[in-house]
Structure 1
Amino acid sequence: MLLLIACVNVNAATRERLSLDRSWLFHQGDVVESAIAGHGDSYSNAKAGNATGAAGNEYDDSDWRHLDLPHDWAVEGPFDPKANIAQGYRPRGIGWYRRYLRVDPADRGKHFELQFDAIATHATIWVNGNVVNRNWSGYNATYIDITPFLRYGDAMNTIAIRVDADAMEGWWYEGAGMYRHSWLVKRNPVHVVTDGVHATPRLVKDKQWSIPVEVTLNNSGKAASDVIVEVTLYDAAGRQVAQRTAPARVGVLANSTVQLPITVNNPAIWTLEKTNLYRVTTRVLQAGKAQDEVSLNTGFRTIRFDAAQGFFLNGVHVKLQGVCIHQDHAGVGVAVPDSVWEYRLRRLKELGVNAIRFSHNAPAAEVLDMVDRMGFVVMDENRNFNTSEDYMKQLEWMVKRDRHHPSVVLWSVFNEEPVQATEVGYEMARRMSAAVKALDDTRPVTAAMNGGFLTELNVSHAVDVVGANYQVPDYDRYHKAYPNKPFTSSEDTSAFMTRGEYKTVKEKNLIASYDDDAAPWGNTHRDAWEAIDKRPFVAGGFVWTGFDYRGEPTPNEWPSVSSVFGIMDLNGFPKTAYYIHQVQWIKDKPLIHIAPHWNWKQGDKVRVMVMANVERIQLLLNGRALGEQKVDPYRMNNFDVAFEPGKLEAIGYRGGKEVVRTAVETTGAPVSLELVPDRAQLNGDGRDALPVTVRALDAQGRAVPLADNEVTFAVTGGGRSIGHGNGDPNSHEDEKGATRRLFNGLAQLIVQTNYDAKDAVMISATAPGLQAARVTIPVKPVAAEPFVAPADAPLTFVRSWRIAPDGDTRPDPNQKLASFDMNTWGWGSPPMRAAAGSKYHLYRASFTPRKNLADGTGRIRFASLKGKAEIWLNGALVGKKDSYAAAPLDVALPAGDGKREINVLIEAEAGQGGGIEGNVTIEPAR
């Protein structure tokens, strides 16, 4: 029989956080049941645990698709010109997920919590036929106490989730389905609640710091408990720095909060360059034995937004060199593996980004952990501007989950709301700001306003830092009107570029990458940064956007299916904007870049843009000097050059000496393919994934910038392809298929290891007329994180029974019971044991066998029947048991369709009770 847990290095005495990503069943499309009619069905439908259809316990999901999470079904589907442009012309719709759990009887009394990190978009969740949660956002996590609903032993538990992805929260691609991780958390009755440790450091004076730790406990047990709460602080090397304990009493089914302030002298400071992270570990002890343990990272740093000089981190001025990013990536939609997120963040770090605005929603928890380690500051943004109860819970969840992260320096309550300039907007923002401050008063609150901050009463009066989306003409005007109010660009630029294109072709929806084109409300990359950088009072900016994203293909429409705002494309391949910002934002090493490529026609007049962070540059063509210019740090440097094949070089000088050089060359036709993995190795844990760059080379091994060959992939060994892309905003290729065309010389394949992989991942790429490429990526066997063991679709359990009144006269087992009679017969589930005294006991239930058991090969299995027994099915006697002693019984299930009615008549031995003493299941023949 199936075991619940397969786990590694788990301390069973405290808590177990088990991945629930494996082995889900999925059905795309709604599952519509017949209308409920009649007395019996109406009565039953209103009772606990009696959900019908795909939400119910015994629904036949045997033909559903098996998959692992994270999962985005929208990215798997075709493009449809009739679908929503904002969603990238991807149909979304309704989907269902189901999964099964077996809980060990030894765990009875533990506290069980389901955690879904995000489901796009609206989700209704059932456990064992009970609605346990309805969630109204695709961006917040859901924590569900399922302890009261659980069955133990061989009686399976059913999780069913209906996802409504037709519901929209944004005007960009939002994906569809269970696209982040899921978890089962098992804890002792007295435990720390999820997100229940508040540990945000504060500077007291000089180098003395305090962490006013607050711990919230819960007791799901049956008796009040006296415990000791112990909080220990460890530095990055694992050395204990401080410890504090405090007693607590936690009532039955109640919460209790404990304060444990910790003083720390002269800690290592968290900075963008040295991300010193400390570990706060909280333990709950009872009679000296650990009952629960939870750890989180935090960091010691100070932040300040100054109205005149901008942002200060640890007292040092830092200009925010930021980007806004959405959460989808080529090939995988919003179901982005954690390791691909690490790749995206690494690309931003290499660009010179020091600040990220996760727009317009809270990111995955794992992403913020990476941000803490890699050294960015973050604007953490709420999705829905609404002060009603459901939406305030979303805001409060974000703050509780994220307040320990040193990277978070701003809470944003909204983005671009039409009521931002009104009293209504002010009152809503005032309440949301107060809710944030009640949970964390160490960071300022902002809101991303696209106007309206100069009216008499508006949102800017309710926040600590004014965030302006675009509004460059009003930067100075606002600062003059409110010189004491801190101010930042919360969103800027909105410029257009198609990667690798250097001629705008409107009829093909292609936009040249010279940074000349921007949205009417925005500015070019160069103009936007110049406006920010030259104004000390502007704390910094957040470019719209760091990466292209699906949907919102402004200024284009069909056939364009993704945006062209990005500094990089959907794969993380750089555009010209990447190099513009890199030379502006990185000062500690000399940089120089040339745009465009050098594959043109003889005599073409080519605009050459040189981007550098040095003092002077010189341009050479085939060794011949074309000119020298002083570097313009804002506008960049441009030359008009008559094309001739060969090498175009740019040389950078400081103090009259050459410090950096780069070149582009004319290539030949492509002759071979090349595969370039982002990393040298993969972990065989089933989660690790990496991007592989695919490109075409000429006979001299140079990348061909205009290659557009169609490439076929094959992945074997310890991994698989999970998607691919090429950055073409007009491509309608299947992102999960076997082929992808190169776009301006590049494509990207994403491979992921299989669970428990030991073999290397072998990738081949072929294209007609080109030499194939092959690469082998070693796989390091690693222990999987603790997980809930996969579960196949279970047997059909016959659970809900009617129980006739006991008597000494043999009843008619097929007697009629009026559909409106809910009281003459009782109700029960196995085990159902009748007390001694009456001779006959009658039980009735109905069930619909799974398709694979309804063809005459199924069996009705009684784990234990006590007393002589007759088994009647749809009015016909199908089995008998002739002994009084408790024993199992196995009865053939006749072939048939639809619902069956089963009646079990028990004749008890004189002076003995009788009944159905174990599970009743419909199983395959053994």
Structure 2
Amino acid sequence: MLRKNIDQNWEFINGKPFMVPGYGQPGKTVHLPHDFTIETDTNPEAPGGQLTGYYGGGVGTYTKILEIPEEYEGKRVLVEFDGVYMNPTVILNGHVVARHHYGYSPFHADLTPYIKTGKKNRLAVIVNNDAQPNSRWYSGSGIYRHVDLITAPKTHIAPWGIYARASHVVNGTAFVVVETTLENHTGEDNNIWLDIQIAKDIDNSLAGTGRVKVHVPAGEKAVGQVKIAVENAELWDIDSPNLYKITAKLCSKKSVIDSEITTFGIRTISVDTKNGFMLNGRTLNLKGGCVHHDNGILGAKSFKDSEYRRMKIHKDNGFNAIRFSHNPMSRDMLDACDRLGLLVINEAFDVWTMEKNTHDYSQYFESDWQKDMESFILRDRNHPCVIMWSTGNEVPERGGLSNGNNWAAKIADFVRKLDTTRPITNSIPSFFNGLEDEDQSKFFQDLMENSKKQGGGIINLDGEFGQKIWGDYTEAYAAPLDVVGYNYLSHQYEATIKSYPNRVICSTESKPMEMFEYWSEVERLPNLIGDFTWTSFDYIGEAGLGRQDYYDDPEEAAKSNKKNHIAEYPWRLAGGADIDLCGFERPQLAYRRVLWGGEETFIATHNPKNHGKTEVLGRWAWPDCENHWSWSGYEGKPIRVDVYSAAEEVELILNGKSLGKKPSGKANHLTAKFNLTFEPGTLEAISYIKGHKVSSDILSTAGEPVGIRIVPDKEEVSSDGQSLVHAVVEVVDKEGRLVPTSNLKATAKVDGAATLEAFGTGKRQTTENYTTGKFTTYKGKLLAIVRAGYESGTSELKIGIEGLESDSIPIKLK
């Protein structure tokens, strides 16, 4: 198969095109990936409201002229879309060749019947995201992932047709089963040789070969299977993510007819109630984070560099697992997890037959679920990072409604036909929905009566009635699963182990403020294989889940507790994650590193303006605190300082004077708490075990803003139209220290062979646009993302900030 990327040079227009090609409104040239929603401004009247971050949808049309050479005559021609949101109609030369509903699954459009060789062919994709609301988070709109043109002979290797897996590993030799699906689109039966080579990805050194002859009937598919012994196999692991390359070739007596290459990794996985999750024979607790598909200030656009950066931030901070929430992600994101050694729960759906939003995928589920599930598993099953398939998240059918138990079994059975090597899971919460009318009324009546002691609100909460019925009502639904995902259900662990001792559990969602308790349970219970926080990386939509509110009047605070999950415009972000929208660390991330065994000391200073007030946190929030000592205007005022440390005790020193020691460690939830008076200067915290210093953290008060510092993650990129430079922009004082309280108007501009793809911050409430090159600094920082063009040369990123001398950096494109 000849695979050619065709991301470059598409014409885009808002709306549908005029009926006659070449007439109507002129378009603009865009290079994929592209998200036309992120280019728009937010709107308080957006149909999706806070769920979509007050962004809307719309209709857009992408058109590309394909030059199809005459030698393609007699071949099959396909277009592979990695993801289009949503409802795309694919048109070639005026003919509708494909429709697709799900906005997250990859799919193919067969152009063969209408292709004109030796001529120009007009390929158009109409994207319809106009029916709002259809999502519980920001979806973006458009062709937001890559597009490839595929050509192949009439008998060829099927797209995603290679499937490799290690059946077992003995004394360093891995026995790799390679199944290759072949398609015969001719009118005659075909007997054809299939050659398989396995090589190390790092240096292409040969690791094993196999050969088999396959009979492919006319108009049908067939599978050729070989088992290859790979000696001295280098296993894929979280600490050594070794990859291999498989090359499959279809050969006649004289030549190679077709070939395809894919990567895979050799590793073994298992789950059980005694050893938990095992990778290559050793038990691992899953240190997990849930992530949505958007790429921060890029919107929905998926680039290899942005996906890799986002995943590497997780890896560098101790995460070993990612849950794709709640849909198939991009091929680039999977490749990043493969190469970084991150384990993945690969999730298919957020809805089945019962809707969560008026226009969501539930409208198409019954007719489309099989093809969407198949395409995403076939595309992804060679990735060693994928350790579980998730069939759904918090679907209302979980208690048996709408034939839910039968659906759970049917979907799990279908997955096992495609891949027998990975456990199947599904995430189940409490019954805030999903019960028959009588029981649902009982649930909410009981919940409201107990809401005060439960912390207020109703989302993902449970009451006595819900806890009592949960296990029995969900058992038939959970029975087909290998691992049962529990969302916010730590209170069900003991009952589960007692009633269902053979069940393997994974905490597939938990809240930041409860991470200590959840992780303690992971360490204590062999049935519980890991914990995934909601969320590890901030995202657009579900705005205000992580909000913090502070009240002078405790009674007002109590009233607000009933509606603290509501976030009105201009809230945009969820706001409760460990890592903000730009990839910058929040204090809770440091706490998690300590919780997972880190020896660091971390100072978290609470905003003194909130001292003495009643704190009301959203259910996914962390208190308003920062890792800085720059609270200008609060000199002489009381301030609370928390120090995160696993050590026995922590000493706090302000301007050379000890303020005493406080206990920390597990007995104190890894936190030493101090109350003091703010005084500019230097604040130091030192951790001790048995009187010996373990680690420390030092903060110094920043001065006035005097300059700009630009820190790019790379200085040279390929001129491939896809490579990105992520440049962190900081406001600094005369000593070069970040000024974390500066909020200044900033501009970004790129000259030369590259373009400015995005510019913004992780601020949760804003009306500013990430695509205009104008934004206000937040906590002293911004992020500029520069996209390479298709020509070599030098570009310059220029940053201007009000009151400061502008600065710039060169970026080379080779």
Fold shared per TM-score above 0.5: yes
Q: CA deviation at 1:60?
A: 2.2
Aligned twin of 2:736 = 701
**What are the within-5 Å matches in structure 2 for residues 111-260 of structure 1?**
111-154=76-119, 156-167=120-131, 169-203=134-168, 207-221=172-186, 223-236=188-201, 237-260=203-226
Gaps in structure 1 of 5+ consecutive residues: 1-14, 32-52, 496-522, 782-926
Does structure 1 conserve the Cα–Cα contact (< 8 Å) formed by 2:318 and 2:596?
yes
Does structure 2 conserve the Cα–Cα contact (< 8 Å) formed by 1:121 and 1:136?
yes
Q: CA deviation at 1:448?
A: 0.5
Aligned twin of 1:685 = 720
SS of 1:442's equivalent in the other structure is coil
Does structure 2 conserve the Cα–Cα contact (< 8 Å) formed by 1:385 and 1:413?
no
SS of 1:619's equivalent in the other structure is strand
Q: CA deviation at 1:174?
A: 0.3
Deviations 1:175-232 (A, max 9, x none): 0000000010112222101011111212165645322211111133465433210111
Structure 2: which amino acid aligns with 1:459? Y
- From 598, 612, 616, the equivalent of 2:629 is 598
Does structure 2 conserve the Cα–Cα contact (< 8 Å) formed by 1:550 and 1:563?
yes
Confirm or deny that 1:429 pairs with 2:408.
yes
Structure 2: which amino acid aligns with 1:352? G
Confirm or deny that 1:739 pairs with 2:774.
yes
Aligned twin of 1:894 = none
TM-score normalised by L of structure 1 = 0.74
Q: CA deviation at 1:449?
A: 0.5
Does structure 1 conserve the Cα–Cα contact (< 8 Å) formed by 2:238 and 2:342?
yes
Structure 1: which amino acid aligns with 2:285? K
- From 59, 70, 81, the equivalent of 2:44 is 81
- From 575, 580, 583, the equivalent of 2:586 is 575
Confirm or deny that 1:448 pairs with 2:415.
no
Aligned twin of 1:668 = 703
Q: CA deviation at 1:279?
A: 1.4
**What are the within-5 Å matches in structure 2 for residues 255-334 of structure 1?**
255-334=221-300
Deviations 1:504-528 (A, max 9, x none): xxxxxxxxxxxxxxxxxxx544444
Confirm or deny that 1:25 pairs with 2:25.
no
Q: CA deviation at 1:250?
A: 3.0
User: Cα RMSD (Å) of the superposition?
Assistant: 2.0
CA distance in 2, matches of 1:391, 1:775: 48
Does structure 2 conserve the Cα–Cα contact (< 8 Å) formed by 1:226 and 1:286?
no
SS of 2:527's equivalent in the other structure is coil
- From 326, 343, 364, the equivalent of 2:309 is 343
Which stretch shifts more, 21-30 or 369-378? 21-30
CA distance in 2, matches of 1:239, 1:408: 25
SS of 1:474's equivalent in the other structure is helix
Does structure 2 conserve the Cα–Cα contact (< 8 Å) formed by 1:126 and 1:132?
yes
CA distance in 2, matches of 1:591, 1:213: 49
CA distance in 2, matches of 1:99, 1:579: 47
- From 485, 489, 492, the equivalent of 1:467 is 485
Aligned twin of 2:451 = none
Q: What number of residue pairs does the alignment pair up?
A: 712
Confirm or deny that 1:385 pairs with 2:356.
no
Aligned twin of 2:384 = 406
- From 552, 574, 584, the equivalent of 1:563 is 574
Confirm or deny that 1:67 pairs with 2:84.
no
Aligned twin of 1:776 = 810
Does structure 2 conserve the Cα–Cα contact (< 8 Å) formed by 1:202 and 1:300?
no
Does structure 2 conserve the Cα–Cα contact (< 8 Å) formed by 1:594 and 1:650?
no
Q: CA deviation at 1:594?
A: 4.2
Counting aligned pairs with the same residue, the percent is: 29
- From 754, 757, 772, the equivalent of 2:789 is 754
Which stretch shifts more, 626-635 or 697-706? 626-635
| Structure with greater helix share of residues | 2
Deviations 1:270-328 (A, max 9, x none): 11101111212111111231111112122222222222442221221211110000122
SS of 2:471's equivalent in the other structure is coil
Which stretch shifts more, 646-655 or 525-534? 525-534
CA distance in 1, matches of 2:603, 2:167: 43
Does structure 2 conserve the Cα–Cα contact (< 8 Å) formed by 1:327 and 1:334?
yes
SS of 1:436's equivalent in the other structure is helix
Structure 1: which amino acid aligns with 2:399? A
- From 488, 491, 509, the equivalent of 1:491 is 509
Q: CA deviation at 1:751?
A: 0.6
Confirm or deny that 1:419 pairs with 2:397.
yes
Structure 2: which amino acid aligns with 1:650? A
CA distance in 2, matches of 1:638, 1:670: 31
Q: CA deviation at 1:667?
A: 1.3
SS of 2:582's equivalent in the other structure is coil
Q: CA deviation at 1:626?
A: 1.5
Does structure 2 conserve the Cα–Cα contact (< 8 Å) formed by 1:73 and 1:177?
yes
Q: CA deviation at 1:264?
A: 3.1
CA distance in 2, matches of 1:61, 1:97: 14
Confirm or deny that 1:94 pairs with 2:111.
no
SS of 2:116's equivalent in the other structure is coil
Does structure 2 conserve the Cα–Cα contact (< 8 Å) formed by 1:352 and 1:586?
no
CA distance in 2, matches of 1:87, 1:547: 16
Does structure 2 conserve the Cα–Cα contact (< 8 Å) formed by 1:421 and 1:451?
no
Q: CA deviation at 1:593?
A: 4.5
**What are the within-5 Å matches in structure 2 for residues 369-380 of structure 1?**
369-380=335-346
Aligned twin of 2:441 = none
From the superposition, tell whether residues 329 and 256 of structure 1 become closer, same or farther in structure 2 (CA, over 3 Å): closer
Q: CA deviation at 1:651?
A: 1.9
Aligned twin of 1:538 = 528
CA distance in 2, matches of 1:677, 1:487: 42
Which stretch shifts more, 236-245 or 134-143? 236-245
CA distance in 2, matches of 1:119, 1:26: 14
Deviations 1:557-578 (A, max 9, x none): 2221111121111111111111
Structure 2: which amino acid aligns with 1:419? E
Does structure 2 conserve the Cα–Cα contact (< 8 Å) formed by 1:308 and 1:484?
no
Does structure 2 conserve the Cα–Cα contact (< 8 Å) formed by 1:330 and 1:724?
no
SS of 1:284's equivalent in the other structure is strand
Aligned twin of 1:104 = 69
Does structure 2 conserve the Cα–Cα contact (< 8 Å) formed by 1:330 and 1:723?
no
TM-score normalised by L of structure 2 = 0.84
Does structure 2 conserve the Cα–Cα contact (< 8 Å) formed by 1:353 and 1:585?
no
Aligned twin of 1:891 = none
Which entry has the higher C-alpha Rg, 1 or 2? 1
CA distance in 1, matches of 2:508, 2:654: 42
CA distance in 2, matches of 1:77, 1:474: 44
Deviations 1:834-892 (A, max 9, x none): xxxxxxxxxxxxxxxxxxxxxxxxxxxxxxxxxxxxxxxxxxxxxxxxxxxxxxxxxxx
Structure 1: which amino acid aligns with 2:570? P
Deviations 1:762-787 (A, max 9, x none): 112112221222222333x1xxxxxx
Q: CA deviation at 1:251?
A: 3.8
Q: CA deviation at 1:410?
A: 0.8
Does structure 2 conserve the Cα–Cα contact (< 8 Å) formed by 1:619 and 1:625?
yes
CA distance in 2, matches of 1:655, 1:537: 34
Gaps in structure 2 of 5+ consecutive residues: 354-364, 432-469, 546-564, 606-625
CA distance in 1, matches of 2:336, 2:104: 18
Structure 1: which amino acid aligns with 2:678? F
Deviations 1:781-801 (A, max 9, x none): 1xxxxxxxxxxxxxxxxxxxx
Deviations 1:436-469 (A, max 9, x none): 1011111111100013650254311121111001
From the superposition, tell whether residues 199 and 655 of structure 1 become closer, same or farther in structure 2 (CA, over 3 Å): same
